[in-house]
Amino acid sequence: MLVAGNWKMFKGPGETEAFLAAFEQPAGVEVVVCPPFVSLAAAVKGASVKSGVAVYAQNAHWESQGAYTGETSPEMLVELGVTGTLVGHSERRRLFGETDETVGRRARAALGAGLGVIACVGETLEQRESGDTELVLKIQVEAIGFAAGEHERLMLAYEPVWAIGTGRTATPEQAGEAHAFIKGLLDRPVLYGGSVKPENTAELLGQQGVDGALVGGASLEPDSFAAICRAAASIS
């Protein structure tokens, strides 16, 4: 069971160091934190004394170097001590023009550099209500599979876009159905992401095929994130 905290554009280096100093990691669960780029070095330093806490970036480019202003290569992340990265988060797709092709390219490059990858997929509310959830997931997952294959360091995260930062959460049954469908396309572990909180973690992660959680806002406080990790550990 793995629990990853995506901090988005929160926590500078000082706050990152303070979080990791206060965070009490429970046994029996793998923990990943994904801070902003400016806080990665501080996170690597803080995690070095926390056995079992890994540091992932929130994105990585598909080239090792070049004229790509504002981007960071997988090789740079490796040199920094980062062990993995997110790719394809719905906010990257919606706000910054990520496509299924670029998500696949980013995943392949990161895996090739030796990083772990959590590749995000998920449908909007409009797509779910129109009955297109499986079609959307099929296109997204197959693009990742075509680029990266069933790589041993690849994980997927199912994050229904309508449940991110809205307080809405997929029902355990909806999450289980989506995870089963995704695994039928690409045989890799799948995390659930979308308004995961301490009070709903056990029910969501208790569904067959749910291999962990990608946590947003509830991962920003050490006590809240630790409670989610404890709930995950209790069912792993």
Rounded to whole angstroms, the Cα distance separating 94 from 97 reads 6
**Residue 134 appears among annotated catalytic residues:** no
| 195 DSSP assignment | S
Q: Is 66 exposed, middle or buried, given 0-12, 13-18 or 19+ CB atoms closer than 10 A?
A: exposed
Q: Find how far residue 93's CA is from the centre of its chain.
A: 14
Positive or negative: CA dihedral 201, 207, 211, 217? negative
Catalytic residue among 75, 91, 123, 159: 159
Rounded to whole angstroms, the Cα distance separating 135 from 119 reads 17
Catalytic residue among 89, 98, 123, 151: 89
Positive or negative: CA dihedral 70, 102, 16, 164? positive
Please give the angle made by the CA atoms of 233, 26 and 199, to the nearest 5 degrees: 55
- CB atoms under 10 Å from CB of 18, counted, come to 14
Q: Give the list of residues 6+ apart from residue 188 with CB closer than 8 angstroms, or none.
A: 150, 151, 154, 155, 156
Rounded to whole angstroms, the Cα distance separating 14 from 198 reads 25
* 103: helix, strand or coil: helix
**Residue 151 appears among annotated catalytic residues:** no
Q: Which residues are catalytic?
A: 89, 159
